Structure 1
Amino acid sequence: MSGSGDTEPSQVKMAAQIPKAFQRLMVSSLTPKFRNAISVETVSMVTPGPKEVVVKNRFVGINASDVNFSAGRYDPTKVPPFQIGFEGLGVVTAAGAESRFKVGQPIAYLHDGAFSEYKVLPSRFAIPIPSLKAEYIPLMVSGLTAAISFDEVGDLKKGETVLITAAAGGTGQFAVQLAKKAGCHVIGTCSTEAKMEFLKSIGCDRPINYKKEDLNEVLKTEYPKGVDVVYESVGAQMFDTCVNRLAVKGRLIVIGFITGYKSDTGYTPIRGGATLPPKVQ
């Protein structure tokens, strides 16, 4: 196995000790049952091309989207085996002559195949970071999802009411903070008292533990004019409630459908084994 370029080994800057082979996770069959979809593959170490780097992964991001990717939902034309994992954080262990990176330099990246001991990466996808801290990982998939959603679709305005479902989750917590920074009143759903306290600590105005309070009744009673913007990632009944409680000219951003990720179709299973997409009542 080799990199995409024709760089001679003498032109490549390499760390003193690099293994001759490494392991990575591969999607070997399409199924939403992640453990069944994955196999471990051992591959030979790569000499990077002139505009490539080899990264020793130290941290990787685990996302709900990994389940959808391994089920073949993002790209129906993608045939196993293929690599899995969207984001990584590590140290450059080998760098092509034109890569602009140094051996030992910490970088972050967004690229398929992060679930691997080492990653061969086109240098244009490498993002220099000050140090190796796991806290940088959520900024990429989770943070960018929230930021792009609000910037491109949400059209947040100061004083508006924003509802964020799964608000204590990976991307939800970013959405809470961004909405507050935009001057909005923020409602956030969660499932435990500990998450309620966490949401308060990051500025959520009205955290709701949906296991103890009825979301529809809370919104109907406390927000009779409706919600201006919804950042929705749960689906099923939660989706229905959000649609029904939208204000006039409200915007609903669907960024996920967690309740259906593990089903064969991607929708939430109902009685009798059938599945249905969300229903608006």
Structure 2
Amino acid sequence: MDHHKVVENALLHIENHLQQPLSLNSVANTFHMSKFYFHRLFSAMMGCSLSQYILTRRLATSLTLIQDKRLSLTDIAYRLNFGTHASFTRAFKRQYGVTPQSVRVEGIHIPQMPMPTVVRRPIKNINGDIVTDFSLTEFKTTRVSGIAFEVDLVEDYKTKIRSHANMLLDRIDKNVSGACYIIYSNCEPNSTRFKVLFGVPKDVQINEPYFFTVDIPQLFCAKFNYTGDILDIGSVLETDYARFLKISKQEPEESEIELIQVFDDVHDLEATYHIYTPIKKLPLDLEE
């Protein structure tokens, strides 16, 4: 069974039936799966429960309907299966911080988020729970030469990464092959800004500002594999990591390095990549 395809089809089914009653039972039955297995699969794939997802998509749809002055807010509430005007208003305010009435009267613009994509990564079943596939591994001490900069996840993060990657490749042999590393560090609490080093595992001296050769220390890590832009998989990675800690009974390591993203080919930053997150090496791990 292609689990990713099942969830992708479920997202399309939900999107096309937001104005009809939807439940865990009805969606699971559509795909001939038990509600218990479908719930675990959907939660693991999307990082939220089915009911939370349906609510989010109905609220997103309501943003367009609110612009249609021919529809009352009560009509919109019933059309999207909120039951009452009051329950629609409460859910809307929790999601967006303002009421539907404020959006309509004051012309407040809230961008409508498109239907999300399913993050592609291997999964496995542990003790009846579906989780992303992970492994415990030592990240060996590695010398990396690269360019340092800052990114803000609320800005054009992807373009900035690519532009700095090209800046590095312009200053070294463009025929260089092999892996590249994107090292994220020093994220302040409640901040979206990161320090980043984009580099290759070589000792290349470039005497220009912001170019460095550094040694990444040996780290004990949890390793995950993903396909897709890291900005798009952010919330899913957070959920995957929380599930990993719960199931593996591990603890996060306090480290300046938040995570390391490793691509196998420096010239293909659209490919599947590995995520390494530092964790504490517990006594049980030391015995292995």
TM-score (norm 2): 0.26
TM-score (norm 1): 0.27
More helix by share: 2
Larger RCO (CA under 8 A, 6+ residues apart): 2
More strand by share: 1
